Amino acid sequence: MKIIRLLTLAAGLAASLQLTGCANISMSQPKAALETTTALRGTTMAPAAIGKFSLDSSRPADVDKSIGLRGGNSVKSPIDDSFSQYLRESLRVELEAAGLFDAASKTVINGTLTQSEADAAIGTGTAKLGARFVVTRAGSVKYDKEWIVDDSWESSFVGATAIPLAAAHYEGLYRKLTGKLLADPQFQAALAKE
């Protein structure tokens, strides 16, 4: 039973560190995924600008601000306290890493956050992220599509484990979503060099 005592000790101390009262977990600053960068460097896309990103107007404003995890705990965005702005920055850093970001470009990518949820339920945790992306060039729409990605994982009955893990999986969806968008041949065609 020593191993159980050891692990219980570790869990209890970690819980006291991570979850004293209610925890607000801030996601990391967006980073480019190397896999996406290497894929983009092999394409013939032209640099693009990033335009306006916002929450779908049909959704409650709170959806853009935080996600509650098991009561008073939450995950938040470090970018303007906004998930839609986190998505915007996630896309910008991906394009920049591949040398495909140009704030002055006439090709502009706009986005609307349509889905944002995570659940640290006991047993199986789930998360979902969705956004509609619109590409315009000189005012003409070249691309308009919604992408939705999701994730599920084994979720502990102890909040000290389950809540940070849910936040981590939710954060990972931003790379997954931008990766889907940037790998879409239709999107790449919309950004193709003229």
Partner 1 sequence: MTSSFSLGLRRLGVSLLIGASATLTGCASFYLDPATRDVSTAEMPKVAQPQPVKLNFEFQTRGAPNSRATEHLQGAVTEQIKASGMFSTLDAAPGGAILDIKLNNIPLNDGSPAAKGFVTGFSLGLVGSSVADGYECKLSYLAPGQTVPIVKLTRHAIHTTLGAANPPPGTVHVDSANEAVLKMTHAIISNALRDLAQDPAFH
Told to check if 104 binds partner 1 by CB under 8 A, we report no
Report the alpha-carbon distance of residue 183 to residue 178 in Å, rounded.
8
* Partner residues linked to 111 by β-bridges: 53, 133
Pairing of strands 123-137, 66-69: unpaired
Told to check if 126 binds partner 1 by CB under 8 A, we report no
Which H or E run contains 3? helix 2-18
Confirm if 160 and 141 have CB atoms less than 8 A apart. Answer: no
Length in residues, the chain: 194
Which H or E run contains 135? strand 123-137
Told to check if 8 binds partner 1 by CB under 8 A, we report yes
Told to check if 10 binds partner 1 by CB under 8 A, we report yes
Q: How far is the CB of 23 from partner 1 (least distance, A)?
A: 10
Site string for partner 1, 24-63 (x = CB under 8 A): -xxxx--xx-x--xxx-xx---------------------
- Site residues, partner 1 (CB under 8 A): 2-11, 13-14, 16-18, 25-28, 31-32, 34, 37-39, 41-42, 96-99, 101, 153-154, 156-158, 160-161, 164-165, 167-169, 171-172
